[in-house]
Amino acid sequence: MTWSIYLSGEIHTDWREQIEAGAKAAELNVAFSGPVTHHEASDDCGVAILGPELNKFWHDHKGAQINAIRTRTLIEAADVVVVRFGDKYKQWNAAFDAGYAAALGTPMIILHGPENAHALKEVDAAALAVAETPEQVVAILRYVIDGALPGYTDKRQAAE
C-alpha cells in the first residue's frame, strides 16, 4: 500500500523537502501532498480566477474557499497528517488543519520546537506523536510503515 501523507503548516522553511528526502532515502512507500506553498498564489487565487474584490475581506474569503477545496480533499484522503508549526509566524491555517484532521480521526504527527510546547498543548494532545525535527517525523513514518526501528529491528534482521 502507498501511504498518503499530507504536510501542513508553515511555508518559510524547507521542512517538507527534508521529510520527503528522508522518506525517499528510507525507501518508504509514500505519496506526499500539501497546500499550495507559493504564498502570493495562495492569497490571490480567488481574485486571480474569479475577479477582483474591492473589500480585502472578500479577496481573502475567495482565496480561502478555493484553497479549502484542495486542503479538505487532501486531508480527507490522507493516511497521516503532519502539521508543522514554526516559530516565526502565527499559523492559524495549520491549527485549523490539525483540528480538521483530528475531527476526521486522521492520525497526526505535530512538528514544532520546544518553545511552542505550551502554546500548542491542546493541538499536541490531539496528535498521536509530537516531533521536534523532520528527521524524527521520518523515523516515525519508517517505523509505522515498515516496522523498522534502528537499533532494534536491524539486529533481528542481521541475526536471521
The DSSP-derived string for 17-44 is HHHHHHHHHTT--EEEE-----HHHHHH
d(CA 9, CA 95): 8
pLDDT in tens, 6-40: 999 999 899 999 999 999 999 999 999 999 999 99
Q: What is the pLDDT of residue 102?
A: 98
Query: Quick one: how far is CA 1 from the chain centroid?
Result: 20
Q: What is the pLDDT of residue 88?
A: 78
**Mean of the pLDDT values across residues 63-89?**
95
Q: Output the pTM of the full model.
A: 0.94
pLDDT in tens, 67-76: 999 999 999 9
Nearest to 5 by CA among 75, 78, 70, 76: 78
Contacts of 126 (CB under 8 A, 6+ apart): 98, 99, 102, 108
**Mean of the pLDDT values across residues 33-50?**
96
**Mean of the pLDDT values across residues 81-94?**
89
What the block records as the C-alpha cell of 47 is 481574485
d(CA 19, CA 15): 6
Q: What is the pLDDT of residue 138?
A: 98
Residue 47, helix vs strand vs coil:
helix
The H-assigned helical ranges of the chain are 15-25, 39-50, 56-77, 92-104, 121-126, 134-146, 153-159
Mean pLDDT over the full length of the chain: 95
**Helix H or strand E segment including 129:** strand 129-131
Going by the DSSP 8-state scheme, the letter that residue 2 receives in this structure is: P
Cβ neighbour number for residue 84 with a 10 Å cutoff: 23
